[in-house]
Structure 1
């Protein structure tokens, strides 16, 4: 059964549960890696991983995740105030690329005075 599963910190998990997402609480990148290894065989939807833990995953596991078609494993932006707008945009573009299989580019953003 396809679903969204969020691997995140204890502090953030409640918010995702309130939004209706299934969650697994993880406390470190190592725990995240072990949990992902267990989940990969049985999940067929999307696994969103707390970005700081996703970024710290071992390189061989990251390569394996990138090669998977199912489940789709993506970093979940931390949403912190220190996260730059360009970083958020880049992460969203990467999520789109992974979800549809190719990269979409948008024209220059313009602001009107």
Structure 2
């Protein structure tokens, strides 16, 4: 008879762990964007066409959209790609987003 108070530790596939990390990245971006709207004057600046990276242009909006789309794409790719390809893409994307965060911060 098993003891119901003992928790079992299930082995989770690395692909699921990596996918969950990319989901976490997306949530951090969402939280950061949401809470930045509480900074006084932020909404007015956005309405006037001024983002944190200067004036808003269609090219900048496209770049922001791509930057925010890549983590959601990585959720799928982390699960779908072969391990060797997956490793390199995750390393490259991880470095890319680390650099982006350093430049933004």
TM-score bucket of the superposed structures, by smaller chain:
under 0.3
Q: Which has the higher helix share?
A: 2
Higher relative contact order (CA 8 A, sep 6+): 2
Tell me the TM-score normalised to structure 1 length: 0.25
Report which of the two structures shows the higher radius of gyration computed on alpha carbons. 2
Tell me the TM-score normalised to structure 2 length: 0.26
Q: Which has the higher strand share?
A: 1
